[in-house]
């Protein structure tokens, strides 16, 4: 058997790479982890999940301060935001979490960590800082980065992406957001709540285009109530500098418009980080710029695996961690475990949040599946009303046999109490069990019981059931 420097080499120190490196090393595998940046944690820790959720929380606190009178408290005169202090708090949160993704921690687990650029020389060898390094198996986990769309003049103006929006020195007075995806709407609402005038320009006719329109519109109405402006169904003509800001020209329904702002945030998608790795040279197949893998996270080169954003499937941190686990099963244990995304959950952290697991109506229609929806509004939930958060809804999709196909929740903390449905669908728990479970009162999670109970109630409180009971017990009602 050929000898290699390492049993397993991992390129990329983000969620997927760290999952594989930590798991494999603790199983006695000699692991090399290569990261091109000077710190571990990847996009999620430094430019994605952690800073965005920290900013969202800061903006929500300020928003709640402005609502003080609604709760019977003295009105608060909100002072202008010093964004440098907000950015400082974001950096502090990152630094605390960085401890979990530190070199010291992973070294203590037995991982050999090297920083620097690398590229494949062969299917077993990479060139790392001019040195040839070999491994029996490799894992590509290089993540993704913001893409630069083809828009006239965009390359001539200074614009923001998730790489720099969290470290601004001061809050812009106005902001244009190009895009209507999760990052775009999360940042739009947060900056609006911090005191910035925000306009969202979206190419399609709804934000969060992968979601059902009724749920996406529910989120948009919440953002509009905060003051965010939306221009949907637009065709962007060009971008150029204008005095101290930026100007965006666009067309909507054949009518020309021009929008101005101090700053421009571009959130129009992401691209997989594959450039410079030499993947094509060693026969690794690509799929629209992402690394193509089979259900076992294996590339076309059998000893090379890939996971996380770089494969371009579900660009979520939790998806990357899950895929990393699939890699460990196949590459380390040699167990033929396949990835199954049937119950992959996700959440957009707007206010209200929009959380989902399984199929929504768009997915069910695309798959040609017969379904039924059951919707309950949070306006009848006692805890929601007590907290001044009565705007929300839960939508459950069931198949013709009454089994859950998916669940979407648009409400405050939706991502938290989606967990009951995640556990239920993964465990094959029936609606009767959910409806019969006892929840503490008052809680928002009672909505889960209520929407399941609505379906069970249709069977229990039916004419058929009344006839059966009358026959058995001679009831007179």
For residues 139-152, give the mean pLDDT. 94
For residues 5-13, give the mean pLDDT. 98
CA gap 115, 128 in Å, rounded: 9
List pLDDT tens digits, range 358-369: 999 999 999 999
Q: 3-state DSSP call for residue 234?
A: strand
Query: Please, are residues 392 and 412 in contact by the beta-carbon 8 Å criterion?
Result: yes
Give the C-alpha distances (Å, rounded to integers) separating 181 from 132, 195, 235, 275: 41, 22, 16, 25
Is the model's pLDDT at 90 over the cut of 70?
yes
Q: What is the pLDDT of residue 456?
A: 86
Q: What is the pLDDT of residue 477?
A: 81
Query: How many other C-beta atoms can be found within 10 angstroms of the C-beta atom of residue 302?
Result: 10
Is the model's pLDDT at 455 over the cut of 90?
no
pLDDT band at 465 (very low <50, low <70, confident <90, very high): confident
User: Which residue segments constitute the domains of the chain, with CATH numbers given?
Assistant: 6-146+271-332 (3.50.50.60), 154-268 (3.50.50.60), 352-460 (3.30.390.30)
Is the model's pLDDT at 1 over the cut of 70?
no
What pTM value is reported for the model? 0.94
**pLDDT averaged over every residue in the chain:** 95
List pLDDT tens digits, range 262-302: 999 999 999 999 999 999 999 999 999 999 999 999 999 99
Taking Cα atoms as reference points, which of 450, 374, 376 lies closest to residue 405? 374
Question: What sign results for the dihedral spanned by CA atoms 285, 321, 51, 41?
Answer: negative
CA gap 282, 23 in Å, rounded: 27
Is the model's pLDDT at 459 over the cut of 90?
no
For residues 353-360, give the mean pLDDT. 98
CA gap 227, 222 in Å, rounded: 9
Q: What is the pLDDT of residue 226?
A: 97
């Amino acid at each position: 058997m050929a000898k290699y420097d390492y049993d397993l080499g991992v390129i990329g120190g983000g969620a997927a790479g760290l999952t594989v490196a930590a798991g494999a090393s603790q199983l006695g595998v000699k692991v090399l982890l290569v990261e091109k940046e000077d710190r571990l944690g990847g996009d999620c820790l430094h430019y994605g999940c952690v800073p965005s959720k920290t900013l969202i929380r800061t903006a929500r606190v300020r928003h709640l301060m402005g609502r003080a009178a609604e709760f019977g408290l003295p009105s608060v005169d909100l002072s202008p935001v010093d964004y440098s202090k907000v950015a400082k708090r974001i950096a502090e949160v990152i630094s605390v979490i960085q401890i979990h993704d530190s070199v010291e921690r992973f070294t203590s687990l037995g991982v050999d960590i090297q920083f620097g650029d690398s590229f494949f020389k062969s299917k077993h060898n990479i060139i790392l800082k001019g040195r040839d390094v070999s491994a029996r198996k490799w894992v590509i986990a290089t993540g993704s980065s913001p893409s630069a769309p083809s828009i006239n003049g965009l390359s001539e103006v200074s614009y923001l992406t998730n790489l720099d929006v969290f470290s601004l020195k001061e809050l812009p007075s106005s902001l244009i957001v190009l895009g209507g995806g999760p990052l775009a709407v999360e940042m739009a609402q947060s900056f609006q709540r911090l005191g910035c005038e925000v306009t969202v320009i979206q190419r399609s006719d709804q934000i969060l285009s992968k979601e059902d329109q009724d749920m996406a519109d529910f989120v948009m109405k919440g953002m509009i109530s905060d003051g965010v402006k939306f221009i949907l169904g637009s065709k962007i003509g060009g971008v150029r500098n204008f005095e101290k800001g930026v100007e965006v020209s666009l067309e909507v329904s054949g009518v020309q418009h021009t929008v101005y702002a101090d700053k421009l945030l571009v959130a129009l998608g992401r691209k997989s980080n594959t450039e410079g790795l030499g993947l094509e040279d060693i026969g690794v197949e690509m799929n629209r710029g992402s690394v193509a893998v089979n259900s076992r996270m294996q590339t076309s080169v059998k000893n090379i695996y890939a996971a996380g954003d770089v494969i371009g499937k579900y660009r979520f941190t939790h998806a990357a961690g899950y895929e990393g686990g699939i890699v460990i099963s196949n590459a380390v244990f040699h167990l033929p475990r396949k990835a199954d995304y049937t119950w992959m959950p996700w959440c957009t952290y707007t206010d209200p949040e929009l959380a989902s697991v399984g199929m929504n109506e768009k997915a069910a229609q695309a798959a040609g599946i017969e379904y039924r929806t059951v919707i309950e509004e949070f306006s009848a939930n006692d805890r929601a009303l007590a907290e001044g958060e009565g705007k929300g809804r839960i939508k459950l999709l069931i198949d013709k046999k009454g089994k859950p196909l998916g669940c979407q929740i648009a409400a405050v903390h939706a991502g938290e109490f989606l967990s009951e449905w995640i556990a239920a669908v993964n465990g094959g728990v029936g609606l009767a069990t959910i409806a019969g479970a006892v929840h503490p009162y008052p809680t928002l999670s009672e909505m889960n019981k209520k929407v399941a109970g609505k379906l069970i109630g249709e069977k229990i409180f039916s004419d058929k059931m009344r006839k059966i009971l009358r026959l058995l017990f001679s009831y007179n009602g």
